Chains A and B, each alone.
Chain A
Amino acid sequence: MTISACGRGNERVRDRRNHYLVVAILGTVTAIVFVFSVAVGPAASGLSGILTTVEQTDPEVLSLIIREIRLPRAILGLLIGATLGLAGATLQGYLRNPLAEPGVIGVSTAAALGAVLAIYTGLSLVMPLALPLMAITGSLVAVALLQALAGSGSVLTLVLAGVAVSSLCGAFTSLALNLSANPFASLEIVFWLLGSITDRSMTHVWLAAPFVLAGWALLAASARALDALSLGEEAAMSLGVNVRRTRLLVVGGTAISVGACTAVSGVIGFVGLVVPHLLRPLVGHQPSRLLLASALGGAVLLLSADILVRLIATGTELKLGVVTALIGGPFFLYLILRLKTYYGA
């Protein structure tokens, strides 16, 4: 674990080969969990169930269920999990703060506000795609705001601007809930905010995928600079890193990809915080190496949580965002306790 090994000692940090092994294992696990995600649902639970269902269900019905319901859900789980893991790792590397996560720069709250406005105004009823489109617009507005507020400022200014954008969007979301005349709309807003990938179609996948992939490309392009930034901004600049360009890549990439994910799933927290933390020691603590591993780890965590949601039998289906928060919250507390022990506070 990051913090415990901060103490002096002769610990040897794992070498490059381990990193490839970690990525290969995570890739395999992602593939397995993805297949499970496609296979598991109310129509079949557990491996034996899948086999029975395959034998008993009309092949056409099963193929329809898989194509229209489970496959989009699994693909979205993969895209969203990977995005949150990747964006979390990138932001932690860029801000040089192990407690950073995509929410810290306010893009998810801004995207949520866009979606909430779509529900509040009734636009989402007239045109279902209005919701994700307005959410993406929300995140793009957030980037513009961040750039205007903290374009050339320090990392601290960026975080403060993120907190400001986040609080402002949170306030407007509350206002929309407060003023909502229609209780059904309020309920829809609340449920949407909890975060879920149930009942999504391939349309959602096609809508989110281009933004998500573009965001990934931007984040990946910042990877090398993140390594140099572990020495601080000045040293990184002296090594030829363009710090301004790196910030644009990180903030823009996070906003586009996380914004698009929030647009189709609602707010899903903690994945971007937990996953990079768990995987960092396994990749030798190097920020650039963490990105791919963390993307795969995020996908594994989110797909697993989504399978869990389906397997836990409750009257009302548990929301994915609730499950990740239930996993992430205690983990965050655990981190604080570790930090407290480390700093002796």
Chain B
Amino acid sequence: MRLKVSNLTVQVRDYRIVDDLSLTLDQGELVGLIGPNGAGKSTLLRTVIGACRRAGGDIIVGRESVERMSGTDRARALAYLPQERHVEWQLPARAVVMLGRFPYRQGFGPPAAECEAAVDRALNAVDAAEFAHRSVKSLSGGERARVLLARALAVEAPLLMADEPIAELDPYHQIHVMEILRSRAREGTGVLAVLHDLTLAARFMDRLILMDRGRVVAEGRPDDVLSNANLENVYRVTALKETTADGSFVLPWQRIDRQDQQGKLS
């Protein structure tokens, strides 16, 4: 299964939020979608699931165009973890994760054993089984983020898109979530995650896609994408870079004033 976005344009009045953008996501790869605020990353993901209207371009999941697929078929093929972490009502964590099985359930009867098993697998994957029966409102931010990730994992779709899955998490849980995403990818899921943490992006991702003003400006191996030129031109920061025996890291260090940057470019 493959997600193929070609020449996608999303427009609000005259402003193009996503501008003639193309990308692919294959099963088994872990891809980071990075870029400054307002680059159009979340809009891209929202457009893929049908929450934003597109002005042009195609989105193909597997062999079919998304508009020809039923909502249920698309949901089974492509799971999505939105940026919004709010859950209304005091649902038990397990019931929230069970919502991931929504595309497989019909009517109001008790869930099939298969659904229960998928929910157990998802809860175990994020180490949330111990608080599965607690109300999601009583959980800490980190616990809730893991439960919501489990909800997306419980779909067990071949493709997964996660919008800032590590936002608001402490370092321990950030690394934990990145490990979960990596292990999912190793098990065959295609994972596309929007990230702001460049160090974790460089460390965990197989491939990075750098977006700026609605376009892809660089794509490839993390070391290549996170070049000094890209960081300076797109993020407008300088960064400290270091390669150790365990891998390399990128630490954004200093802001570049736009005027300085323009002077430098001219």
Where the two chains meet, the residues of A that have a C-beta atom closer than 8 Å to any C-beta of B are 2, 5-13, 16, 96, 223-224, 227-235, 237-242, 280-281, 284-288
In the assembly, what is the distance between CA of A91 and CA of B171, in Å? 40
In the assembly, what is the distance between CA of A10 and CA of B132, in Å? 11
The residues of A that contact B74 with a CB separation of less than 8 Å are: 240
Do residues A227 and B135 form an inter-chain contact, with CB atoms below 8 A? no
Other A-B pairs, 6, CB within 8 Å; known A13-B90, A229-B88: A8-B139, A11-B135, A13-B133, A231-B82, A235-B151, A238-B49
The residues of A that contact B138 with a CB separation of less than 8 Å are: 5-11
Closest chain-A Cβ to B37's Cβ sits at a distance in Å of: 18
In the assembly, what is the distance between CA of A10 and CA of B131, in Å? 9
Chain B interfacial residues counted at CB < 8 A: 43
- B89 beta carbon closer than 8 Å to chain A: yes
The residues of A that contact B78 with a CB separation of less than 8 Å are: 238
- B251 beta carbon closer than 8 Å to chain A: no
Query: Which secondary structure dominates chain B's binding surface?
Result: mixed
Closest chain-A Cβ to B24's Cβ sits at a distance in Å of: 19
Do residues A238 and B90 form an inter-chain contact, with CB atoms below 8 A? no
Stretch of B1-9, B95-103, B205-213, B229-237 that contacts chain A = B95-103
Closest chain-B Cβ to A226's Cβ sits at a distance in Å of: 10
Do residues A13 and B91 form an inter-chain contact, with CB atoms below 8 A? yes
- B46 beta carbon closer than 8 Å to chain A: yes
In the assembly, what is the distance between CA of A240 and CA of B95, in Å? 17
Where the two chains meet, the residues of B that have a C-beta atom closer than 8 Å to any C-beta of A are 46, 49-51, 70-76, 78-82, 84, 86-92, 95-96, 99-100, 102-103, 105, 108, 110, 133-135, 137-140, 148, 151, 155
Could you list 14 A-B pairs, sorted by A, with CB under 8 Å?
Answer: A2-B90, A8-B138, A13-B92, A224-B108, A228-B99, A231-B148, A232-B82, A235-B82, A235-B84, A238-B78, A240-B73, A241-B71, A241-B102, A285-B91
Closest chain-B Cβ to A293's Cβ sits at a distance in Å of: 13
Residue of A nearest to B137 (CB): A6
Do residues B75 and A286 form an inter-chain contact, with CB atoms below 8 A? no
In the assembly, what is the distance between CA of A235 and CA of B73, in Å? 15
In the assembly, what is the distance between CA of A233 and CA of B50, in Å? 11
In the assembly, what is the distance between CA of A71 and CA of B246, in Å? 80
In the assembly, what is the distance between CA of A230 and CA of B108, in Å? 16
Do residues B46 and A240 form an inter-chain contact, with CB atoms below 8 A? no
Closest chain-B Cβ to A236's Cβ sits at a distance in Å of: 8
The residues of A that contact B80 with a CB separation of less than 8 Å are: 234-235, 238
The residues of B that contact A235 with a CB separation of less than 8 Å are: 80-82, 84, 99, 151
The residues of A that contact B81 with a CB separation of less than 8 Å are: 235
Do residues B133 and A231 form an inter-chain contact, with CB atoms below 8 A? no
Do residues A242 and B71 form an inter-chain contact, with CB atoms below 8 A? yes
B71 partner, pick from A2, A8, A9, A240, beta carbons under 8 A: A240
Assess A230 versus B89: contact at CB under 8 Å? Given A12-B134, A240-B74.
yes
Closest chain-B Cβ to A24's Cβ sits at a distance in Å of: 15
Closest chain-B Cβ to A199's Cβ sits at a distance in Å of: 39
Closest chain-B Cβ to A344's Cβ sits at a distance in Å of: 16
Residue of B nearest to A3 (CB): B90
